[in-house]
Amino acid sequence: MKEIEKTLENKSVRPTAMRILIYKYMAEKEIAVALTDIENAFAKADRTTLYRTLKTFEEKGIVHQIDDGTNISKYALCEPGCNCEIEQDLHLHFHCNNCDETVCLTEHKIPQVNLPDGYVAEDANLVIKGICEKCSGR
Amino acid sequence: MKEIEKTLENKSVRPTAMRILIYKYMAEKEIAVALTDIENAFAKADRTTLYRTLKTFEEKGIVHQIDDGTNISKYALCEPGCNCEIEQDLHLHFHCNNCDETVCLTEHKIPQVNLPDGYVAEDANLVIKGICEKCSGR
DNA sequence: TTAAACCGTGCAACGGAAGTGCATTTATCG
DNA sequence: CGATAAATGCACTTCCGTTGCACGGTTTAA
């Protein structure tokens, strides 16, 4: 718990109770979460607060936003040392068509792609869809 | 014009006036279009019709849906011989951070990715974001 | 040919999610 | 303690995707 406080402070985010709880919630979940998920988990909290908390976390590099093709923004904690903004650091995401969960495959980086002349890459997003470990029965 | 009719019929879609127009519009545009784009282009047509037309087109393999990370579904015509459903055929998409346009890079396929044990890939989506040819000034 | 079935289209409305403005509370600093 | 800024909560708006229903034209079957 104290660790979370420290983590937030290191990223220059004030460790309020709400923020610590949200961080904790995301740390326990191993999958990417949507705003609605957090909303349901914390019935007490207002959606706006959660919304802005996620925005703040994202700006400060605490979480990264994931677009898994469901048209619902998901978020996941950045691994220690994750530099989302650097292209080489971009890992891919896996979305399960069965359980509808999205996970970070942190170890799997997005392969380098050669673009046509004139195109400049700044960011990349790769989502693989299929059946996840849990649902495939290994 | 007659060609479009034929194309639609070949895909077992009845070539109504509306559908031909929409097809024509998408063929002329070289970028992926959102429902709203079409809506603005055809002020007369109802949103629902366009929506369902796109759905139909998608089911019949005339267009493919593109998720470029803007949380707005875009659509683009399939190239002749495009088999969107087959993983090997998946091309990548480029979204320009400047002009906000999304294009298909049909020639650029999504590289094969090794997944952890237990994960089964069925589909993939790769979007590169950056500056497009037009905006980079070559 | 006429009736029935089907399909395409249009109108209205709903629901979910993102986002904004403003008031209020809470924390920080002098 | 008081002033200032940050965080939170409430209300509301907008946008997009989606659905239900009704009308009209076209196709199909008797």
All residues of chain B having their beta carbon less than 8 Å from the beta carbon of residue A107 are 116
The average pLDDT across B101-123 equals 92
Q: What is the mean pLDDT of residues B74-99?
A: 83
CA of B53 to C1' of D22 (A): 19
For chain B positions 7-36, those within 8 Å of chain A (CB to CB) are: none
Closest nucleotide relative to residue B65's CA, C1' based: D17
pLDDT score at B48: 97
CA distance B52 to B102: 22
B86 contact residues in A (CB cutoff 8 A): none
Q: Which of B105, B116, B118 sits opposite A116 (nearest CB)?
A: B105
**Band (B80; pLDDT cuts 50, 70, 90):** confident
**B2-136 CATH, one of 1.20.120.530, 3.30.70.20, 3.40.50.300, 1.10.10.10:** 1.10.10.10
The residue among B10 and B2 whose pLDDT is bigger is B10
pLDDT, tens digit, 9 for 90 and up, residues A72-81 = 999 999 987 7
| Segment (H or E) for B77 | strand B73-77
Binning pLDDT at 50, 70 and 90, where does residue B105 land?
Answer: very high
Q: How far is CA A108 from CA A45, A83, A85, B12, B67, in A?
A: 35, 14, 16, 41, 21
The predicted-structure confidence for B17-73, as pLDDT tens digits, reads as follows 999 999 999 999 989 999 999 999 998 899 999 999 999 999 999 999 999 999 999
Whether chain A has a CB inside 8 Å of the CB on B88: the answer is: no
Mean pLDDT of chain B: 91
Residues of B in contact with A73 (CB under 8 A): 71
Whether the CB-CB separation of A115 and B104 falls below 8 Å is answered with: no
Domain boundaries, chain A: 2-136
Q: Region B3-7: what's the mean pLDDT? A: 94
Which pLDDT band holds residue B86 (cuts at 50, 70, 90)?
Answer: low
CB contact under 8 Å between A133 and B125, yes or no, is: no
How many Cβ pairs within 8 Å bridge chains A and B? Answer: 119
Q: Is B99 annotated as a binding residue?
A: yes
State which residues of chain A have pLDDT below 50. Answer: none
Helices within B29-132 (DSSP H only)? 35-41, 47-59
Q: How far is A47 from chain B (nearest CA, A)?
A: 19
B39: left (phi over 0), alpha (psi -120 to 50) or beta: alpha
